[in-house]
């Protein structure tokens, strides 16, 4: 790669740093950005430096094991996260990690991101996983992305923030911006009283459009039906380990009905209230003994 191209990439990193800072996605010295220059060289933002005021001279380079090769400032403390993603996804050139407030709120609550709500999200993001929590900066933390890295371009890091990646710095940042805007819309819609979901036909039309543009989605399989297609099933098997659930945003009504055992009354009905009363009386009686 020519020196001119490297300088252009450094400028791109600084530009995305300013955009991250301007949008409130990185307070003080939060966040980090990287780009893979070659087989064993990655340029990245330094630690303890505000991303809103980066200059090309601030950036440093590391090898694929995280050893610093050049730069006046010390490399990002979380570069192992970037390198782990690049090793697992050779097509990835750039990684962006930051703390967008609305998506990070989902990270703190460990609330599963609903599907089948916004067309752009269905086409560009698909299902967004939440990783299990580990102390940031270590290889153990970096490895939390491995169960998901090949099946998505953006993740929520439990109690931490987001990480997204792509073939350019701009594209890597896009996924984070789309995700945070979506999380904000979800919160506003819930405050208004409800979230309306697409039905199966509407969702399939979007997924077919996605396939037409060259992006695959497992929900396009013929056996996937209405209650499966919006069920956040792609990463559901990892929810227990990561402490993820659906509390603030209930799944679509058809999925709720399909998932509820026939013997369990629906929430808020007189039958459920009577069941709760009977159970409470029995527990109190047992405690008195």
Assign residue 151 the CATH number of its domain: 3.40.225.10
Q: Closest by alpha carbon to 82, among 39, 27, 42, 123?
A: 42
170 shares a domain with 282: no
Residue 221 lies in a domain: no
pLDDT band of 129, cuts 50, 70, 90: very high
The tokens for 160 are 């931490």
| 53: in domain | yes
Q: Are residues 278 and 144 in the same domain?
A: no
Domain hosting residue 283, numbered range: 259-289
Together in a domain, 136 and 274 = no
What confidence tens digit (pLDDT) does each residue in 86-96 have? 999 999 999 99
Which residue do the tokens 């800072």 mark? 21
Model pTM score: 0.85
Domain count, the chain: 2
**Alpha carbon distance 222, 215 (integer Å):** 17
Domain contains 213: no
- What are the residues whose beta carbons fall under 8 Å from the beta carbon of 248, sequence distance 6 or more? 109, 111, 190
Of the three residues 192, 209, 241, the one that is the final residue of a domain is: 192
- The answer on 41 and 159 residing in a single domain is yes
Task: Examine the domain organization and report whether 23 and 149 are in the same domain.
Answer: yes
Mean pLDDT across 210-220: 77
Torsion angle (degrees, nearest 10) of CA 87, 92, 97, 103: -110
Give domain status of residue 124, yes or no. yes
Counting beta carbons within 10 angstroms of the beta carbon of residue 251, is it exposed (0 to 12), middle (13 to 18) or buried (19 or more)?
A: buried
Q: Which of 159, 192, 225 is the last residue of a domain?
A: 192
| Same domain assignment for residues 268 and 169 | no
Question: Which of 140, 163, 192 lies at the terminal end of a domain, its last residue?
Answer: 192
DSSP states of 65-119: TS-EEE-SSPBPTTHHHHHHHHHH-TT--EEEEE--HHHHHHHHHTBPPP-SS-H
Of 53-57, 75-79, 209-213, which range is least confident? Answer: 209-213
Euclidean distance between CA atoms 59 and 153, whole angstroms:
24
- DSSP label at 281? H
| Residues 118 and 12 reside in one and the same domain | yes
């Amino acid at each position: 790669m020519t020196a001119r191209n490297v300088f252009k990439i450094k400028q791109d990193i600084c530009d995305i740093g300013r955009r991250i800072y301007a949008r409130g996605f990185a307070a003080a010295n939060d966040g980090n950005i990287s780009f893979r220059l070659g087989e064993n060289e990655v340029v990245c933002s330094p630690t303890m430096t505000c991303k809103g005021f980066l200059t090309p001279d601030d950036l440093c380079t590391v090898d694929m094991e995280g050893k610093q090769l050049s730069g006046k400032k010390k490399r990002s403390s979380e570069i192992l996260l970037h390198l782990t993603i690049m090793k697992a996804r050779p097509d990835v050139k750039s990684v962006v990690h930051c703390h967008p407030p609305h998506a990070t709120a989902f990270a703190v609550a460990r609330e599963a991101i609903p599907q089948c709500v916004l067309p752009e999200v269905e086409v560009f993001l698909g299902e967004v996983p939440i990783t299990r929590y580990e102390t940031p900066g270590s290889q153990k933390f970096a490895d939390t992305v491995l169960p998901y890295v090949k099946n998505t371009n953006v993740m929520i890091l439990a109690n931490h923030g987001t990480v997204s990646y792509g073939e350019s710095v701009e594209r890597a940042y896009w996924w984070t911006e789309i995700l945070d805007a979506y999380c904000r819309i979800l919160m506003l819609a819930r405050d208004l009283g409800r979230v309306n979901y697409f039905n199966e036909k509407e969702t399939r039309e979007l997924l077919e459009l996605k396939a037409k543009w060259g992006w695959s989605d497992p929900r396009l399989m013929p056996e996937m039906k209405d209650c499966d297609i919006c069920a956040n099933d792609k990463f559901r098997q990892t929810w227990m380990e990561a402490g993820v659930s659906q509390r603030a945003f209930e799944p679509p009504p058809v999925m709720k009905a399909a998932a509820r055992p026939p013997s369990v009354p629906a929430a808020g009905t007189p039958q459920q209230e009577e069941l709760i009363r009977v159970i409470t009386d029995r527990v109190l009686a047992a405690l008195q003994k």
